[in-house]
């Protein structure tokens, strides 16, 4: 099988990898941290499917990233031509007979149409979630106090976070008790989602809301500070904000968001000293992501000695 045939197969499968991979028994969910279908790692695998190419990342596999065909290779221990032969029937191709250029073009057009429809549906879901987030923040929340149970356990101050003043049940039937800590997710000046933090530390994002590029700047901080700290979890960020009151601290919510948020901050503050706050987790992923973000914005990183 020629490299051209494999490239044509990959082009044809563009936009279909989620279904193709699951059809092969490789269990993946769209853009969520999940167990790796190859190594079994619990929550450090992500199928982000960038540009419909089936892209993924795993902290433990080798190689640790690639496209959809690479994931098939990893999962079954195959060479690319063997993996391509497995994928071909699922997208209506016969690798043995070669691939007609018109056939490939039709598949690409169909994939582009499906991708456009998916993006439109995702945008509608994001707009709906943003409105719900705003309504909850406005009508069901008050400013959090230091007496909030989660904040008391962590030993940190609220720094502008919110807490529910009544029980809330979401459209997907998720329920949250009164006093649940609520951290608004801002994309620009608008709330795009919410993070709910239960008293026992369980964290849940509002379904459908935009998290990518989202952040929460801790209040009572100096907006024009020369040094800006960017971390994952709210508790870590709050501890650093209290310890370093002359800096500006921003919560990026998760390790995968550090690079995106740091780039957004760098564009608005080109001269700032940006320091990433690395989570000290057993897998080392927190430090790895913090280091990547620091390199991306010509900053640095440190690992605070706090329990996030």
Q: Could you read off the pLDDT of 17-51 as tens digits, one per residue?
A: 998 888 888 888 876 778 888 877 666 788 999 88
Q: Which fold, 212-308?
A: Rossmann fold (3.40.50)
Residue-wise pLDDT tens digits, 131-155: 999 999 999 999 999 999 999 999 9
- Mean pLDDT rounded to a whole number for the chain: 87
Calpha distance 194→227 (Å, rounded): 26
Q: Tell me the percentage of the chain whose pLDDT exceeds 70.
A: 89
Q: What is the pLDDT of residue 74?
A: 86
Q: What is the pLDDT of residue 111?
A: 58
Q: Dihedral, CA atoms, 227, 234, 171, 32, nearest 10 degrees? A: 80
- Rounded-to-5 percentages of helix, strand, coil across the chain: 40, 20, 40
Q: Phi and psi for 196 in degrees, rounded to 5?
A: -100, 130
Question: Residue 58's beta-bridge partner residues?
Answer: 45
Residue-wise pLDDT tens digits, 101-126: 565 566 557 656 766 777 788 889 89
Higher pLDDT, 308 or 202: 202
Average pLDDT over residues 295-301: 95
Q: Tell me the percentage of the chain whose pLDDT exceeds 90.
A: 49
Cis peptide before 63 (omega within 30 of 0): yes
Q: What is the pLDDT of residue 306?
A: 66
Calpha distance 210→68 (Å, rounded): 24
Residue-wise pLDDT tens digits, 267-295: 999 999 999 999 888 878 888 999 999 99
235 band by pLDDT with thresholds 50, 70 and 90: very high
Residue-wise pLDDT tens digits, 83-98: 888 888 888 776 554 4
172 band by pLDDT with thresholds 50, 70 and 90: confident
Higher pLDDT, 202 or 59: 202
Q: What is the pLDDT of residue 96?
A: 54
Q: What is the pLDDT of residue 98?
A: 47
Indicate the SS3 state at residue 8.
Answer: helix
Q: What is the pLDDT of residue 304?
A: 84
Cβ neighbours of 96 (radius 10 Å): 8
Residues 6+ apart with CB under 8 A from 190: 130
Q: Which of the residue ranges 57-61, 93-97, 233-237 has the most confident prediction, judged by mean pLDDT? A: 233-237
99 band by pLDDT with thresholds 50, 70 and 90: very low
Q: What is the pLDDT of residue 128?
A: 94
Residue-wise pLDDT tens digits, 259-272: 999 999 999 999 99
């Amino acid at each position: 099988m020629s490299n051209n045939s494999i490239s044509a197969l990959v082009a044809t499968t563009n936009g279909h990898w989620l279904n193709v991979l699951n059809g092969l028994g490789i269990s993946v969910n769209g853009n969520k941290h999940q167990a790796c279908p190859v190594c079994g790692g619990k929550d450090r695998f992500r199928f982000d499917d960038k540009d419909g190419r089936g892209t993924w990342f795993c902290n433990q596999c080798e190689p640790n990233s690639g496209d959809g065909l690479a994931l098939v290779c990893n999962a079954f221990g195959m060479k690319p031509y063997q993996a391509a032969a497995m994928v071909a029937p699922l997208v209506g191709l016969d690798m043995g007979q070669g691939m007609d250029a018109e056939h490939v073009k039709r598949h690409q057009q169909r994939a582009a149409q499906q991708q456009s429809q998916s993006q439109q549906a995702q945008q509608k879901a994001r707009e709906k979630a943003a409105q719900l987030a705003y309504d909850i923040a406005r009508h069901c929340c008050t400013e959090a106090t230091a007496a909030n149970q989660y904040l008391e356990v962590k030993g940190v101050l609220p720094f502008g976070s919110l807490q529910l003043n009544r029980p809330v049940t979401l459209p997907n039937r998720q329920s949250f008790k009164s006093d649940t800590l609520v951290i608004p997710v801002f994309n620009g000046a608008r709330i795009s989602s919410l993070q709910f933090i239960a008293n026992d530390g369980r964290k849940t994002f509002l379904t459908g809301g935009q998290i990518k590029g989202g952040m929460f700047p801790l209040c009572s901080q100096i907006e024009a500070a020369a040094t800006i700290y960017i971390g994952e979890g709210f508790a870590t960020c709050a501890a650093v904000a209290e310890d370093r009151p002359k800096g500006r601290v921003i919560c990026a919510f998760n390790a995968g968001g550090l690079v995106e948020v740091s780039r957004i901050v760098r564009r608005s503050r080109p001269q700032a000293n940006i320091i990433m706050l690395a989570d000290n987790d057993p897998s080392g992923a927190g430090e790895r992501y913090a280091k990547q973000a620091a390199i991306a914005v010509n900053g640095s990183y440190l690992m605070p000695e706090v329990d996030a």
